Every structure is written in C-alpha cells, then in structure tokens.
Amino acid sequence: FALDFVQTSLQAESSSGEAALSVPSGGGFLSGIDIPLMLYFFFWYLGNYYYNVTNKLALRAAGGSSGFPMMISSLQLGVGSLYALFLWLAPDARSKPSITLADVKKMLPVAFCAMGAHSASVFALSAGAVSFGQIVKAAEPAFAAVLAQFVYGKKVSKAKWFCLPIIIGGVVLASVKELDFAVSALVSACIANLFAAFKGNENKKLMETPGIKDRLGSVGNQFAVVSILAFLMSIPLVLIKGESFSAFVEVYKANPVVSTNLLL
C-alpha cells in the first residue's frame, strides 16, 4: 500500500510539475534539482526491493501459485484500505474526500485496473522468480505507449518509440538467460503490465473530470478511494480460485513471514 502510494505521489509530482525545490536556486551542485522528487524515486525503489523480497517469501511459505496468492493479494489491499479509513477517522489526520456517487463511478475503471495489476503481479511472483517477474514488468512502458497511441489516441513522441526496442530487446535477452523461466509467471506479468498501462491512461482521464481534484482533496485520498474499491473488486477472484480463508488463517498463524508481509 505504502509503495503504491509513493508511486502515485511520484506520478502526481511529475505530471503537475509543481513540486517545490528544497534548495535555493542560487548555487551549489544541488541547484535546480528537485529534491522531493529524488526522494520519491529513492523510497520507491527501496520499497519496491523490500516489497518483492518479503512478498516472495510469504507466497512461498503459503504454497506458491497453488497456495493463496489471490488471498494474499486481496488482503494486502484490505490492509491498505483499513489504514486509509483510519486516517479519515483519526482526529487531524486527513480530511475526508467530498466526492459524489458519480465520481465513484468514474473511479471504477481505475480501481479495476489497479486491482488487476496488483493481483496479476502477486500471482507472477508466486509462479516464478522475483528476478523474472521484474524482468517482464520492465516492459510496462511498451504496453503504456501502445495503448496510449492506438487505444486512447494520445500521440507518443518519436523519441519514446525509439526507446521501446531497447527496452523490449533487454527484456527478451534477460528472459532468455533466466534459469527460473515459467510460462505462468510470464503471462501473469504481461497481464499486470497491461492492467497497469490501462490504469495510467484511465487515471489521466479521471483527473480531467472538472472539480474532481478539489472534491478528492489530495493524492492520498485519491489513492485511498481507489484502494478500497480495488479491495472490494478483488474478493471475487479469491472465491473464483477457491482459496479457503480458514486454511489461510492456519498458514498465517504458522508462518510469521506471511503476517509480516501483510502488515508491511
């Protein structure tokens, strides 16, 4: 939850271009560098590292892809949702959004894509090595560019198109050398990329809605609402896969790494 929030905040900072500099513009080697943005990058990568490691350990302890990947994925969203509700209820923590039912309906596509990207990513980690999952997910910019150009009608610059063969080629070469290759992990990671690309484009459409930024109040509130909706949408996946909650509770009690993963 925290990692995704940092990513959402990073996107907001970079898209708005309004992040304030923490150093004066008058000199020094840090002059002109957006320190808050650099910190977002640092914590994003640091959080991504620990998230993937702890996630893999928890998924392995819970039986891998045949165990409880959708249960873990859903409960991760659930823990984030509880934290969001706590911030709204706690005194002087975060003001509640004043969104309407129409706003919530417009947020459903973003929430569905967020749920799909998260669930598919977790399943990819459960089916294959962390390295392989990250290799395939590195191709996400290619998915985003294709969707933006041909589905959403957003022009992609020639410079970005020229970068894509390098990204795709690197992914292909790294995948060929990967010893722990799994077709299910490949397919799941590609599905996660597709959902993530749709999420980015749908989020841009959402933010173009007149007044919605004011009604949400903050990036944190936007992410909180999306996370709650994504959690509710993830519950049917757990039921469809047939993962038993009572059996998962036993695994949860017996493996501290699983409980740690959900809390972090």
Residue 24 per-residue DSSP state: -
**Ranges in the chain, pLDDT < 70:** 1-31, 171-172, 174-181, 264
pLDDT the model gives residue 62:
92
pLDDT at residue 18, as a whole number: 45
Residue-level pLDDT at 24: 46
Say how many residues make up the chain. Answer: 264
Chain-centroid distance, C-alpha 235: 18
Rg (CA), the chain: 19
How far is Cα 248 from Cα 25, in angstroms, rounded to an integer? 55
Picking from 253, 250, 10, 234, the residue whose alpha carbon sits closest to that of residue 120 is 234
What pLDDT, in 10s, does the model give residues 127-162? 887 777 777 777 787 888 888 888 888 888 888 888
The predicted model scores a pTM of: 0.79
Hey, what are 34's tokens? 């957006």
> Which of 98-101's residues contact partners 24+ apart within 8 Å by CB, and which partners?
98/215, 98/217, 99/212, 99/215, 99/216, 99/225, 100/215
